[in-house]
């Protein structure tokens, strides 16, 4: 039962806002942005953007990689309920192969920002580089924060939503593409995943630009959706 609960998808809506609590001036709104899924061999890269409500603090925020799955699942609905706004964006395996993983990550981050119903004045991004700000439809200041998922509350919240959202997506993908174990390793290059690739070959969710998948001799291109 606990495994089934971890694999549940997040609510259909990719953003939320409490209209009774939009009291923070626009110049004070800080959006934290982070991603999940840059390293896997399969599946999309997810990103989340979160604008926290300073009047509704959330205890326990931290880098999602440092939290247990149970802790992330507990915090995710609290973040969605207490934040002024949050948004989710993703870029699929085809976009990753076309753009490279950095370009696809920036695309997912921009989509997460565009999903926000409130325009932030300042966007803080985990890492040492920021996605392009042109074409977002609003003006804001961007800054990169190395290790921000562990030190900036907004980025920590975004890291949790991105991780929980991607894990749920991969659990659903496991039903459409059985045999790979996506519900366990979430597309990361574990030994069981590599063994499944050797046995089944890649599916449509695999990133063909990633080693060892980019070797046509080892893994021929899939001919169908199976």
C-alpha span between 133 and 117 (Å, rounded): 17
**Phi-psi region at 216: left, alpha or beta (left = phi > 0; alpha = psi -120 to 50):** alpha
SS3 120: coil
Render pLDDT for 42-85 as a digit per residue (tens, 0 to 9): 999 999 999 999 999 999 999 999 999 999 999 999 999 999 99
- Which strands sit side by side in the sheet containing 30-36, from one edge to the other? 15-17, 85-91, 45-51, 30-36, 122-126, 141-145
pLDDT of residue 7: 42
Tell me how crowded residue 107 is: count the other CB atoms within 10 A of its CB: 22
Question: What is the pLDDT confidence band of residue 28, given thresholds at 50, 70 and 90?
Answer: confident
Render pLDDT for 129-138 as a digit per residue (tens, 0 to 9): 999 999 999 9
Render pLDDT for 113-123 as a digit per residue (tens, 0 to 9): 999 999 999 99
SS3 74: helix
Which range is least confidently modeled, 8-17, 38-47, 152-161? 8-17
C-alpha span between 60 and 57 (Å, rounded): 10
pLDDT of residue 212: 85
- CA gyration radius, the chain: 18
pLDDT of residue 3: 42
Average per-residue pLDDT in the chain? 88
**Phi-psi region at 221: left, alpha or beta (left = phi > 0; alpha = psi -120 to 50):** beta
- Cα torsion 42, 44, 49, 55 to 10°: value is -60
Task: Choose the CATH number for 2-171 among 3.30.420.10, 1.10.3720.10, 1.20.140.10, 3.30.1360.70.
Answer: 3.30.420.10
pLDDT of residue 22: 42
CA 4 vs. chain centroid, Å, equals 20
Candidates 99, 100, 87, 97; CA nearest to 162 is: 87
Global pTM?
A: 0.85
């Amino acid at each position: 039962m606990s495994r089934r609960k971890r694999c549940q998808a997040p609510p259909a809506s990719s953003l939320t806002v409490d209209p009774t609590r939009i009291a923070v001036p626009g110049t004070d709104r800080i959006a934290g942005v982070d991603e999940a899924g840059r390293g896997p061999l399969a599946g999309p890269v997810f990103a989340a953007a979160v604008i926290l409500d300073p009047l509704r603090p959330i205890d326990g925020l931290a880098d999602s990689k440092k939290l247990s799955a149970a802790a992330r699942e507990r915090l995710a609905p609290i973040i969605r309920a207490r934040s002024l706004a949050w948004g989710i964006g993703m870029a699929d395996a085809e976009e990753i192969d076309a753009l490279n993983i950095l370009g696809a990550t920036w695309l997912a981050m921009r989509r997460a920002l565009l999903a926000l119903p409130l325009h932030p004045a300042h966007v803080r991004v985990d890492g040492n580089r920021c996605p392009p700000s042109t074409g977002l439809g609003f003006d804001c200041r961007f800054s990169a924060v190395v290790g921000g998922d562990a030190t900036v509350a907004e980025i920590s919240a975004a890291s949790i939503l991105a991780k929980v959202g991607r894990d749920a997506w991969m659990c659903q993908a496991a039903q459409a593409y059985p045999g790979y174990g996506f519900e366990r390793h979430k597309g990361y290059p574990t030994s069981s995943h590599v063994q499944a690739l050797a046995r089944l070959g890649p599916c449509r969710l695999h990133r063909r630009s990633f080693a060892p998948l980019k070797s046509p001799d080892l893994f021929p291109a899939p001919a169908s959706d199976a």
